């Protein structure tokens, strides 16, 4: 049986805010001003006319801002701070209204009790153990990253990914700064994570790591250019258009510049096998013939073709 809401003065409600920031939600304030409080707050009764807020912090702050003195509340039996955190965490994990930073603080608070672990907390909140583990595995991330990331609104879990990259701390900080300042996003971090796990990445000298990371970011952020390339190439297959032709021409020049850069690397060229050199030579020869194909006799206009009769000793003639 559902409990009936009860009117409670906001001044009688105590807040537990050690794990969360005070927030302002203009859209919620407008909604309450227009339609009133649609969802009651959930409180626990600590004593007569004294309550502690369990769920509804954003609504509470909006009511305060609007100078509304009381609110409809579902009143529950008082428990402990830890049990209230479990209640809040269970609600937040299912509604996804809180940031990952706030959820992590709640999980961290519960883990202060040695009896709690990821499995137990997951069971109490009715979520998978993996969901809770996600908020535990980043506990050793640089606190300064977390503080700045929460301020700028950067997603929380990418900071854990950056922290766990197998590269030096200076380069990690460089990537974290880019992410926290919103110059790159989680998808870019995922690409960096994949690239830095490549075997070849381990051979990049430390003094060139930042340059390499910048190139990875640049190539990834140009991803739409790849889409445009597909479109222009398809367009040129159907017929000539100046814009598509210019775009593809510029791509071709860039590709040739990359090939030239590779061929200027003595360590690459000097270690090519004879078979590899022959294959490269044939490929380049074929490319040149594609651009400037050999002239065929049949390609000449008929009026420019001529016949020459050559007499041979037995009286027969050959026509050229």
Report pLDDT for 52: 95
| CA–CA gap between residue 20 and residue 58 (Å, rounded) | 11
Q: For residue 128, what pLDDT is reported?
A: 94
pLDDT at 77: 93
Q: What burial class does residue 242 get, using C-beta atoms within 10 Å of its C-beta: 0-12 exposed, 13-18 middle, 19+ buried?
A: exposed
Low-confidence residues of the chain: pLDDT under 50: 1, 318, 320
Q: How far is residue 259's CA from residue 257's CA, in Å, rounded to a whole number?
A: 5
119-139 tens-digit pLDDT? 999 999 999 999 999 899 888
Q: What is the model's pLDDT at position 26?
A: 86
Residue 216: its pLDDT value, please? 86
Give pLDDT, residue 294: 76
Phi, psi (deg, nearest 5) at residue 37: -80, 115
Q: Residue 307: what pLDDT?
A: 56
State residue 184's pLDDT score. Answer: 94
Written as one string, the DSSP assignment of 196-213 is: HTSGGGGGS-GGGHHHHH
Give the pLDDT confidence score for residue 315 in this predicted structure: 54
């Amino acid at each position: 049986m559902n409990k009936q809401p009860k009117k409670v003065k906001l001044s009688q409600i105590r807040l537990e805010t050690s794990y969360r920031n005070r927030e302002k939600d203009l859209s919620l304030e407008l909604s309450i001003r227009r339609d009133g409080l649609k969802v009651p707050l959930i409180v626990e009764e600590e004593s007569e006319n004294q309550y502690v807020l369990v769920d509804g912090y954003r609504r509470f702050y909006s009511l305060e801002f609007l100078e509304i003195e009381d609110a409809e509340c579902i009143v529950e039996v008082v428990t402990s701070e830890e049990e209230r955190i479990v209640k809040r965490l269970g609600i937040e994990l299912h509604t996804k209204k809180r940031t990952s930073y706030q959820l992590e603080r709640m999980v961290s608070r519960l883990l202060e009790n040695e009896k709690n672990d990821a499995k137990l907390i997951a069971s109490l909140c009715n979520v998978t153990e993996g969901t809770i583990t996600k908020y535990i595995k980043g506990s050793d991330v640089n606190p300064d990253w977390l503080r700045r990331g929460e301020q700028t609104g950067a997603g929380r879990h990418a900071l854990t990914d950056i922290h766990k990259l197998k590269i030096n701390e200076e380069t990690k900080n460089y990537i974290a700064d880019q992410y926290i300042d919103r110059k790159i996003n989680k998808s870019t971090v995922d690409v960096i994570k994949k690239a830095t796990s490549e075997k070849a990445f381990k051979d990049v000298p430390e003094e060139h790591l930042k340059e390499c990371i910048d190139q990875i970011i640049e190539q990834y952020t140009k991803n739409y250019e790849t889409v445009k390339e597909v479109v222009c190439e398809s367009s040129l297959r159907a017929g000539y258009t100046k814009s598509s032709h210019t775009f593809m021409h510029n791509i071709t020049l860039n590709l040739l510049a990359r090939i030239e850069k590779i061929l200027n690397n003595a360590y690459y060229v000097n270690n090519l096998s004879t078979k590899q050199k022959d294959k490269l030579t044939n490929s380049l020869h074929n490319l040149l013939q594609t651009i400037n194909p050999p002239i065929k006799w049949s390609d000449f206009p008929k009026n420019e073709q001529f016949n020459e009769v050559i007499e041979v000793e037995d009286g027969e003639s050959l026509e050229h």
